[in-house]
Structure 1
Amino acid sequence: MPENSLAEDSYVIVGNNDNSPATAKMRTALVDQIHPIYTVSPVGRDLEKDAKISMDTGALDPETISIGYWDGNVWRELHSTLSLDGRQMEAIGTHLGHYTLIPRGSGSPLAISEEDILPTEYSLYQNYPNPFNPETMIHYDIPKGGHVSLVIYDILGRELIRLVNQYQPAGRYDVLWDGNNAIGSSAVSGVYFFRISSNGFSQTRKMVLSR
């Protein structure tokens, strides 16, 4: 959790108790309980800065799950991506409260007011799915408007295609790579890198195309 995420000093406690009366309604609302419900206390507190939520996938198929947040009435499905090591699902949280893994598509979408919250830091997330065939989605956050470039490189560091090369306002973005190079030819199976650059920020991640 970023420093000064809460408006005042407070202890943050993480735990799970699926058998408590407090989680009974949450369990009932789940289409299929596939993961323990974790509580981040004090419940209901808004965060001054976005925090990354990470949950181990275990034996679950990451292509079929998302992180869910309990808003008091329904499970809200967060935009979730697989971590670089392939062991965790990651999402951005804006509240302390109850989180779990849910079947993808089973949760209600976030309210528009929450989706519109601007990011407070630059982030490049792991593409999803990964490995992929034939296409994959890349998600990134831009807290300040500016020129953004998102480039795919092969294992030798040669530029394959420039997916983004333009000014973008602050916000959260999803870009699809269809597995083709700049001239429309299919890229071969192998390891590729994608790098984002904006306002002096740069970050690179690795992905695998498996045809």
Structure 2
Amino acid sequence: VAGQFGKSAVAAAPTLLTKELTFNFQQKRSIQLAMVELEDMPVRSEAEELVFSLLIAILPERLPEQTQLLSNYPNPFNPETWIPFELSQDSKVSVTIYNVAGTPVRNISVGYLQAGSYVSQLKSVYWDGKSDTGERVSSGTYFYQIRAGDYTETRKMVILK
């Protein structure tokens, strides 16, 4: 018991502070990078364990470990869908929609994004079911491909009208 004296009070303090703390993106990124560095250590000292648990309490959200394209939602859809993804590092991002013949029907340039999760409707890529010329595409199977730096992945989606 004596060896554990004071540990619970320190761990409880961040819970109270996190409601008052706000961080900008760069501060969050620095905390996340410190968390990754501590997490990758095969053996941590007691002080490092304490710092690691404090950082987790202060900022529980984490940078994705790998870049990945997620399933669009809804799928099937009519007439619009959202395409979520995660970036493990800052990248220039674009999404291309292809028909079953492999012809591009829509190119969506997202721009340069910072590492993070882009899974909500506010952050994911939105497709209105229209081609680059503004015409509604017909019902059927389409493929969406993300390019983020060196990463490329393709998935299937269906439009039902």
TM-score higher than 0.5 here?
yes
Relative to the length of structure 1, the TM-score reads 0.45
Residues paired across the two proteins, number: 101
User: Which residue identity does 2:64 align to in structure 1?
Assistant: P
2:62 maps to which residue? 117
Distance 2:107 2:115 in 1: 20
Q: Does residue 109 of structure 2 align to residue 157 of structure 1?
A: no
Select 2:87's aligned residue among 142, 145, 152: 142
Say which SS state the counterpart of residue 179 (structure 1) adopts: coil
- Higher strand content, 1 or 2: 1
Deviations 1:39-90 (A, max 9, x none): xxxxxxxxx69xxxxxxxxxxxxxxxxxxxxxxxxxxxxxxxxxxxxxxxxx
Report deviation, 1:171: 1.4
Distance 1:123 1:147 in 2: 14
Check conservation: 2:110, 2:125, Cα contact below 8 A: no
Q: Does residue 79 of structure 2 align to residue 129 of structure 1?
A: no
Distance 2:73 2:110 in 1: 21
User: Which residue identity does 1:157 align to in structure 2?
Assistant: G
* Greater than 4 Å deviation, 4+ residue runs: none
Distance 1:156 1:128 in 2: 23
Distance 1:157 1:165 in 2: 21
Select 1:204's aligned residue among 131, 154, 161: 154
Distance 2:81 2:59 in 1: 27
1:179 maps to which residue? 129
Identity %: 40
Report deviation, 1:168: 1.3
Relative to the length of structure 2, the TM-score reads 0.58
> In angstroms, what is the RMSD of aligned CA positions?
1.9
Report deviation, 1:207: 0.3
2:20 maps to which residue? none
1:65 maps to which residue? none
Report deviation, 1:165: 4.4
Distance 2:105 2:132 in 1: 6
Gaps of 5+ in 1: 1-47, 50-111
Distance 1:157 1:125 in 2: 20
Select 1:188's aligned residue among 138, 144, 160: 138
